[in-house]
């Protein structure tokens, strides 16, 4: 009885070696990691000492992941496996907003959630972010609703929605993340104005 030899055994070994070496040497590109940064510029304002709490910041479910998210259309998203956030996006957003507000309001007492239960805040801002991404038009879009609480009176004093668009000079991931930081800076300006307005009327 005779058996046919497998086809691969009929291929000369010197022809297989390059294919085997290529398979061994081929690797995925390394991932890049990004963080948002505070960009607000200090203003010459004179505010009384106060304690302001920023957070919690609630992100839309599609943003609660390590990959950077972009839109390929109004109804479809793309997750970038090789470009990721260096930490939790919600914590990064919260800290950047707190840093921005500290600069804009000229006070040190701006705390990022969570804080100690022993701390008595003057004001607290709670935010719900429904969109925070960029699309094929190289434009960052931030949609957010915030609630401002006067914690001394245990009262909700303001509810607002904000829509911010920041064009990017190019489609690189680094430029898009920079645009997202700029969108947070613009949101911070609106928050600072709201807190200052409420404080001035008390």
Domain of 195, in residue numbers: 8-34+49-200
CA 176 vs CA 124, 132, 135: distances in Å: 29, 11, 10
Higher pLDDT, 199 or 123: 123
Mean pLDDT computed over 34-51: 84
Count of domains forming the chain: 1
Mean pLDDT computed over 29-53: 86
Is residue 124 assigned to a domain?
yes
Is residue 125 assigned to a domain?
yes
Residue 4: pLDDT band with limits 50, 70, 90: low
pTM of the model: 0.84
Is residue 1 assigned to a domain?
no
Is residue 62 assigned to a domain?
yes
Quick check: 160 and 142 in contact, CB under 8 A? no
In CATH, what number is assigned to the domain containing residue 135?
A: 3.40.50.10610
Is residue 120 assigned to a domain?
yes
Mean pLDDT computed over 106-120: 94
Is residue 2 assigned to a domain?
no
**What pLDDT is attached to residue 170?**
85
Half-sphere exposure of 125 (CA within 13 A, CB side): 28
Is residue 3 assigned to a domain?
no
Residue 14: pLDDT band with limits 50, 70, 90: low
């Amino acid at each position: 009885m005779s058996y046919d030899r497998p086809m691969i055994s009929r291929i000369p070994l010197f022809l297989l070696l390059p294919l085997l070496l290529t398979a061994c040497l081929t690797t995925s590109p390394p991932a890049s990691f990004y963080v948002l940064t505070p960009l607000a510029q200090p203003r010459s304002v004179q505010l009384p000492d106060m304690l302001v709490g920023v957070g919690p910041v609630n992100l839309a479910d599609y943003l609660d992941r390590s990959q950077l998210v972009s839109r390929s259309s109004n109804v479809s998203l793309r997750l970038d496996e090789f470009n990721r956030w260096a930490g939790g996006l919600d914590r990064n957003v919260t800290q950047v907003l707190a840093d921005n507000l500290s600069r804009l309001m000229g006070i040190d007492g701006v705390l990022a959630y969570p804080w100690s239960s022993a701390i008595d805040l003057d004001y607290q801002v709670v935010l719900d972010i429904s969109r925070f991404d960029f699309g094929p038009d190289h434009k960052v879009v931030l949609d957010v609703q915030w609630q401002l609480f006067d914690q001394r009176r245990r009262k909700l004093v303001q509810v607002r929605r904000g829509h911010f668009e920041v064009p990017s000079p190019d489609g690189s991931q680094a430029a898009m993340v920079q645009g997202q930081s700029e969108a947070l800076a613009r949101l911070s300006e609106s928050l600072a104005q709201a807190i200052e307005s409420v404080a001035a009327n008390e």
